[in-house]
Structure 1
Amino acid sequence: MLNKKNLGYLILIVFLGIVLFVAIKASPIPVDSVTAQYAPMQVTAEEEGKTRVIDRYVVTAPVDAYMQRINLHEGDSIQKGQTLVTLEPVASSVLDPRSRAQADATLGATAELEKIIQQIGLAAKADKELADINFQRNVQLRQQKVVSQNDLDTAKAEKQRTAAVYRASQFGGIFTRFLTQMSRAALDYENSRQSKEDNHRFKVASLTSGKILKMGDKSERLVKRGAVLMEIGDIEQLEVETDVLSTLAVKLKPGMSVEILRWGGGQPLQGEVRRIEPYGFTKISALGVEEQRVKVILSISTEYSARKQLGHGYRVEARFILWQADKVLQIPNSALFRDNNASQQWAVYVIKGNTLHKRSLKIGQRNNLMAEVLEGLEEGEQLVTYLANELQDGVKIEKR
């Protein structure tokens, strides 16, 4: 049995516990708050990539020859028809009857192919000019709201398609002229050898304008037939090659907008997805994890004058815009939590006066920072942005 002294102590302890509980219950919990509001929103994904010239031309030695020193350097501008290297064929490079017949046949075939591609190029140029005119017309009509956005997008796609076809026809013409020149050079050498013109030399000229991207040894030396002497390309015509996770690749489609970041300039460059390759490959990440990745090729739409410093093989980062909207009711991701009592739905603590009220939400798109609210919240309502264990429905709070 409790004596009167112990009973007094027990009553005192219970009383102090009640007082302490009421004091803790009555003291408000400081919280950080945020207001739900409408604002633009994007859902993006970023990957590293590197630039590359769209069409690169590799200059090779047409025959075994003694090459004179090349007085050019990487980055030098080259004009179409400019002499790149002077070669003096060595006597060991002889065309046997079979090789000579093959060279004659190749020369005749490439000459005819040049004529065909020239006509294809004229047709592609006409299609490109017509598509350019039609696109400009649709831009004006769209401003007047005469045509739909879909008509304008179709005209833009046709403009890009015809430009690509025209560029491909030009590349095909350059390639066939290269084959013609190589065959003619071999035959010219054989003819000069047979006529005992031992000091015969010939010059390899550039078939396109651009800049020297890469060079081999520039010193005088013997070169074998097919040896790479240099690479030439138009530095203004750049694209970006990046590899993305296969789970991201399935969300991409040609024409999707892309921002090219951290390339060294002040402003991001604009571009779009040009091609998603159908073949994936395995890559080991920096953490040693095997990843399935897919190559994605991006075009750059920003004018060359704004990216003159960007060259071939430069590192960039691509931000793929997977979804965007101009007006979205959104809240920070840090305000969301899973409600265990409501089928794991998303929920937040809404602030009404100085009291918290738990409310379930329906969430749409999410990015790294913000979440789109579809149902359950209105603009201007305040909620707790950083959650703590002591927060619960009905708790008294004070905003910091």
Structure 2
Amino acid sequence: MKILKYILIAVFVLGALFAAAFFIKSNSKSPITFKTESPFKTNIEQKTVATGKVVPEEEIEVKPQVTGIIEKIFVEEGKEVRSGDLIAKIKVVPNEQSLNGARGRVRNAEITLRNAKIDFDRNKDIFDKGVISQQDFQNIQLRYDQAKQELQNARNDLQIIRQGSTGGAQAITNIRASVSGTILEIPVEEGDQVIQSNNFNAGTTVATIADMKKMIFEGKVDEGEVGKLQVGMPLKVSLGAIEDQEFEAKLKFIAPKGNEEQGAVQFRIEGDVYLEENFYVRAGYSANASLVLDKKEDVLAIKEALLQFDKETNEPYVEISTGDQTFERRDIKTGISDGVNIEVLEGLVEGDKIKVWNQTEPKKKEGEDDDEAGEEVAD
């Protein structure tokens, strides 16, 4: 009986040891079987994207030369006009103080002319009798002619203040287009008061005109990329309002001074956009411009997601397969990147197998154990 008892105890101990060994072996196995990928040859373009909008190259603001009230507007926004076309009519409302001063100057000129005429008539009779010299008479005649001219000038000034011009009796001034193009905006309405453009006042804008066939891209780039740009570089401009269409453009301006926006320094850029006739582009469309900063063809590359970085030196490295699910670290040197693929300068060859290190453990299906789930990620 004692021998049987010892045999049972031995079997129990051996079973426990076997179960413990199986449990340790099962848990020592990684739940993830890592995939591997190899380097490949490809073309890489390093790009940057500038956000902005498409606007006309030139926008001309039409302003009145007299102060008054808009009596009638003859055009609408979006209408094509030619240089000289009538845009609006202004009814002049004279300033009361200026009007009163102009009337006073006219009366003074009339008084001066009347006295000059009396003096001229009296001295003409004396000159005809030979009492005064010809030079004295010419001086008197000069004052008379100047008085007549002064009265004419005063009357013209009064008419300008009343009517806006000396060309007619009607108190209306025409506003005409100064260039050919499209009416972009009419910020005034009939009945609005407008102020003339002069040396001390920019004046009221009656209409804005632009040539919609000459459009430019206005955008901003970060200071970290502006140093790589050069005037004349090609751009690809895509518009938010026109899907699946890119327009060719050429960089023509890079701002010499940047502006800080939300903690980053941004530099303004401009590029001529080459429009296609079958697309109508409106002023102010939001746009993105893609610029190629660097390009390399047929270079050795890997997916950028395969890279790992040393915590202390921040240098890139990858893990290379040396056997069945065994890997070793290998430091590499990288070149340009397009955000998906990155050029490899040193450290790898095409046949290397690189660990896809950022895999996640697959979700177990109902009734599936860890070994079965791990096999789904096998190479």
Q: TM-score band (shorter)?
A: 0.5 to 0.7
1:311 aligns with 2:314: no
Structure 2 unaligned spans of 5+? 1-5, 103-156, 197-202, 362-374
Match of 1:393 in 2: none
Deviation at 1:233, TM superposition (A): 0.5
* Corresponding residue of 2:144: none
What residue identity is the alignment partner of 2:210? G
Alignment partner, residue 237 of structure 1: 214
What residue identity is the alignment partner of 1:215?
A: I
Structure 1 portions without partners, runs of 5+? 98-185, 284-289, 391-395
Q: Which amino acid aligns with 1:296?
A: R
Aligned with residue 72 of structure 1, among 57, 75, 78: 75
1:217 aligns with 2:173: no
Superposition deviation, residue 322 in structure 1: 2.2
Amino acid at match of 1:346: P
How far residue 234 of structure 1 moved from its aligned partner, in angstroms, is 0.7
1:29 CA drift (Å): 4.5
| Of 56, 69, 76, the match for 1:53 | 56
Q: Is the 8 A contact 1:33 1:399 kept in 2?
A: no
Offset at residue 238 of structure 1 (A)? 1.4
Larger Rg: 2
RMSD: 3.8
SS, match of residue 31 in structure 1: coil
Check 1:380–1:270 CA distance in 2 against 1; reply closer, same or farther (3 A cut).
farther
Contact 1:350-1:383 within 8 A present in 2 as well: yes
Matched letter for residue 62 of structure 1: Q
Q: CA deviation at 1:63?
A: 0.7
Q: Percent identical across equivalent pairs?
A: 19
CA–CA distance in structure 2, aligned partners of residues 66 and 203 of structure 1: 12
Please tell me whether the aligned partners of residues 71 and 218 of structure 1 are also in contact (alpha carbons under 8 angstroms). Answer: no
Mapped to 2, the partners of 1:239 and 1:221 lie a distance apart of 33
- How big is the shift at 1:294? 2.4
Secondary structure, aligned partner of 1:30: coil
Amino acid at match of 2:245: Q
Match in the other structure for 1:227: 204
After superposition, residues 1-400 of structure 1 pair within 5 angstroms as 15-22=18-25, 29-92=32-95, 189=160, 197-225=168-196, 226-265=203-242, 266-283=244-261, 290-305=262-277, 308-339=279-310, 345-351=315-321, 354-358=324-328, 359-388=330-359, 399-400=378-379
Change (3 A) 1:279 1:238: same
Q: Which residue of structure 1 lines up, in the alignment, with residue 199 of structure 2? A: none
Change (3 A) 1:398 1:71: closer
Q: Which amino acid aligns with 2:250?
A: E
**Does structure 1 conserve the Cα–Cα contact (< 8 Å) formed by 2:235 and 2:248?**
yes
- State the alpha-carbon separation in 2 of the partners of residues 399 and 369 from structure 1: 24
Name whichever of 60-69 and 343-352 sits farther off: 343-352
Q: Is the 8 A contact 2:91 2:173 kept in 1?
A: yes
How many Å separate the matches in 1 of 2:302 and 2:193?
A: 69
CA distance in 2, matches of 1:27, 1:386: 13
Task: Give 1:272 deviation, angstroms.
Answer: 3.4
- Please tell me whether the aligned partners of residues 236 and 304 of structure 1 are also in contact (alpha carbons under 8 angstroms): no
Query: Higher helix proportion, which one?
Result: 1
Assess, with a 3 A threshold, how the Cα gap between structure 1 residues 194 and 274 changes in structure 2: closer, same or farther: closer
User: Deviation digits for residues 29-60 of structure 1, max 9, x if unmatched?
Assistant: 53333332111212223342122211110001
Shift of 1:79: 1.4
Q: 1:344 to 1:232 in 2, by over 3 A?
A: closer
Give the letter for the 2:176 counterpart: A
User: Residue 188 of structure 2 aligns to a residue in which SS?
Assistant: coil
Change (3 A) 1:67 1:386: same
Residue 339 of structure 1 deviates from its aligned partner by 4.8
Cα distance in 2, alignment partners of residues 193 and 333 from structure 1? 72
Alignment CA distance shift 1:398-1:57 (3 Å): closer
Contact 1:50 1:240 (8 Å CA) reproduced: yes
Residue of structure 1 in register with 2:131 after alignment? none
